[in-house]
Amino acid sequence: MYKLKKINILAIALSCLLPTVVNAANQPAASQPNIVVIMADDVGIGDISALHRRYTNKPVVVETPAIDSLAAQGMSFTDAHSPTALCAPTRYSVMSGNNTYRAYAKWGVWSTFAKTAVTMEDATIGRIGKEAGYTTGFVGKWHLGGTFLGKDGKVYKGAKGGPKSKNIDLTKWVAGNPKELGFDYDFTAPTGVQGPTYSVHENGQWYKFDKASKIIYVDEHSALDKSFVADKGPGMGDSHWDATKLNMMLADKAAGFIKRSAKADKPFMLNYWSPATHIPHTPPKQIDGEKILGSTPTQHLDMTRVLDLEVARIINALKEAGEYENTLIIFTSDNGGLPEKSEIKAGHNSSATYNGRKNSPLEGGHRVPFIAVWPGKIKPGTSSDSLVNGTDIVATIASVTQVKLNENQAKDSWNLLPALLGESFTGRDFMMQQAGSQNQLMLREGDWKLIIQSNNKVTKREIAALYNLKDDPSEKRNLVKAPEHKTRVQTMFKKYWDIRESGQRTAPVNNKF
């Protein structure tokens, strides 16, 4: 068993299965901050203009003023990563605080109609909030599976899209939904903008895009615009599905949740997972009178502007409700970005100075923005080089809300609160990740990174690459065959499999009270 590094925060192991609150009932609501978690889709560090300026002297191609304001008013992590290089498996890890290999679906749950990998015993962002007495809300892209019925009234277990999915009843989301994971309110797109499900649901019920909406088979012939049918193919959905309206519809619902919740006498927690900037890139012509379509070199970057306007909508709602000063905001992305040749030529690289992109085991596949703002608590304009991961959101929220997690929950989630508050913090010294559809696995240990080539059943275990990220951040020199690193390669390879197969935690059970 590999021992975790000692840290300056309290480690607590409990025998109970459910998270419990410490003294929350005795605390006035005002002493607990509101919490807003924003996760973008396919956004790399180079897509945020404030971070672009840190990595290159090239002029900014697309400005992101709202997200930049978060970086200016809070703390940015310079060595931050998504749990995986693809969206669905990352969402499981961010929601539960567990590495994806712990789930029954080790490479992610991709179908809207598949069983969710989050168990009833898992701590989730929503469940922690509810235990702490928060009003909880989820708005955005889900991609964690779910349970729907077929038209015969039985649980649907068929195709996720295509003609064989026509027997699904999309009007009611019966299980595996945000409510089951602890959210009082939700407005959810099961697969975001990418299909093959083209619908949104409010509190488990189908939400009509238009008064005349019907559930139909959405394909290039029936869709309002054939560009709305994503590369995942056709499937069941709303007859008035309009991908150009989806993002701001979600942002408006998030703002509405904030304004309603602010009127109550208890704090609120919003988990907002934007579909931007996943393909298809379908920017609207304008938002609030401001030109969007064609305002940048590509529709991808147009959608980056849409994302920033979503964040602005949430920030403005907090300020209008008088809650911004008492809110912890965390902004990150589910995986790396989508660098395009034409954008790179224009001076914009979603991966900044790193190689790789979404789906890749290289740094560009999983280096992501990770920004936290908490006025009066987090020092503005600061940065940290601590090694952090999207899984850390669960333990951090648990610490902020004083909810205890037991030893079987959030096994890979580190509490970042000491780092955020500028206190003594010694975090992880290794990190386990996975890439995407090519089934690579990664172990990061200090400056070193080992890549293992596996397969879907994880029966293949081939050492593929070794990089020193300090000397070679662009990962251009594979040292895996260098004789002087033979021992390191074998030791790291063994460490990865020993930890994974033992099932041991990679993070302490901790909270800082």
In a 3-state reduction of DSSP, which class is residue 48? coil
Supply φ then ψ for residue 189, to 5 degrees. -100, 110
User: 92 CB contacts (<8 Å, ≥6 apart)?
Assistant: 98, 100, 103, 105, 108, 109, 117, 118, 144
- Contact at 8 Å (CB) between 44 and 80? no
* β pairing state of 20-21 and 403-404: antiparallel
| Measured distance CA(155)–CA(168) in Å, rounded | 9
- Contact at 8 Å (CB) between 316 and 74? no
Q: To which H or E segment does residue 51 belong?
A: helix 49-55
- Contact at 8 Å (CB) between 399 and 123? no
| Measured distance CA(365)–CA(274) in Å, rounded | 18
What pLDDT score was predicted for residue 73?
98
Please provide the distance, in angstroms rounded to a whole number, between the alpha carbons at the two ends of the chain: 28
Estimate the share of the chain in helix, then strand, then coil, as percent rounded to the nearest 5: 25, 20, 50
Listed residue (462, 455, 459) closest to 493, CA to CA: 462
Q: What is the DSSP letter of 196?
A: S
What pLDDT score was predicted for residue 19?
59
- Contact at 8 Å (CB) between 337 and 330? no
Q: Kindly state the tokens that stand for 158.
A: 């068929």
Q: What is the DSSP letter of 457?
A: T
Residue 12 Ramachandran class (φ > 0 left, ψ -120 to 50 alpha, else beta) = beta
Cα four-point dihedral sign 307, 308, 309, 311: positive
Q: To which H or E segment does residue 451 belong?
A: strand 448-453
- Contact at 8 Å (CB) between 74 and 374? yes
User: 319 CB contacts (<8 Å, ≥6 apart)?
Assistant: none
Reported pTM: 0.94
Within 250-406, strands assigned E span 268-273, 286-287, 290-291, 327-333, 370-373, 382-389, 403-404
Helices (H), 269-340: 299-320
In a 3-state reduction of DSSP, which class is residue 349? coil
What pLDDT score was predicted for residue 289?
95
* β pairing state of 75-81 and 370-373: antiparallel
Q: To which H or E segment does residue 502 belong?
A: helix 486-502
What pLDDT score was predicted for residue 31?
77
What pLDDT score was predicted for residue 510?
67
Residues paired with residue 468 on neighbouring β-strands, in sequence order: 448
User: 435 CB contacts (<8 Å, ≥6 apart)?
Assistant: 84, 85, 86, 359, 360, 361, 365, 366, 441, 442, 451
Mean pLDDT, 10 residues at a time, the chain of 513 residues: 40 41 44 95 98 94 98 98 97 98 94 95 98 98 96 93 93 97 98 96 98 97 96 96 98 98 96 98 97 97 98 98 98 97 95 97 98 98 97 97 95 97 93 97 98 97 98 98 98 98 92 45
Rounded to the nearest angstrom, the gap between the alpha carbon of residue 33 and the centroid of all alpha carbons in its chain is: 21
| Measured distance CA(61)–CA(49) in Å, rounded | 8
DSSP string, 131-150: HTT-EEEEEEE--S--EEEE
- Contact at 8 Å (CB) between 143 and 192? yes
Which residue's entry shows tokens 């147009």? 302
